Amino acid sequence: MNRTITIKGTGKVSVKPDLIIITMQLESHDYDYEKTMKLAVESVNILQNAIIKAGFNKEDLKTTDFNIRTHYESYRDKDNNYKSRFDGYVCEQGLKLEFDFNTSVLSNVLTSIGKATVEPNLNIQFSVKDKDAINEELLIRATENARRKAEVLARASNVTLGDLISIDYNWGDLYLYSRTSYMMENNCLAFKTSAPDIEPDDIEVSDTVTFVWEIK
Which residues does 27 contact at the CB level (< 8 Å), separation at least 6?
Answer: 90, 91, 92, 93
Q: What is the CATH number of the domain that holds 94?
A: 3.30.70.2970
Model confidence pTM above 0.85:
no
pLDDT in tens, 121-141: 999 999 999 999 999 999 999
pLDDT at 196: 60
pLDDT at 106: 92
pLDDT in tens, 191-209: 444 556 678 899 999 999 9
Distance CA 38, CA 28 (A): 9
**In whole numbers, what is the pLDDT of the chain averaged over residues?**
91
Q: Which domain, by its residues, includes 153?
A: 4-197+204-215
pLDDT at 165: 95
What's the structural domain count of the chain?
Answer: 1
Region of 72 on the Ramachandran plot (φ > 0 left; ψ -120 to 50 alpha; else beta)? beta
pLDDT at 180: 86
Find out whether 118 and 187 touch, Cβ atoms under 8 Å: no
- Running DSSP on this structure, what letter comes out for residue 78? T
Tell me the one-letter amino acid at 198. I
Region 55-83 average pLDDT: 91
pLDDT at 185: 63
pLDDT in tens, 29-41: 999 999 999 999 9
Tell me the one-letter amino acid at 142. A
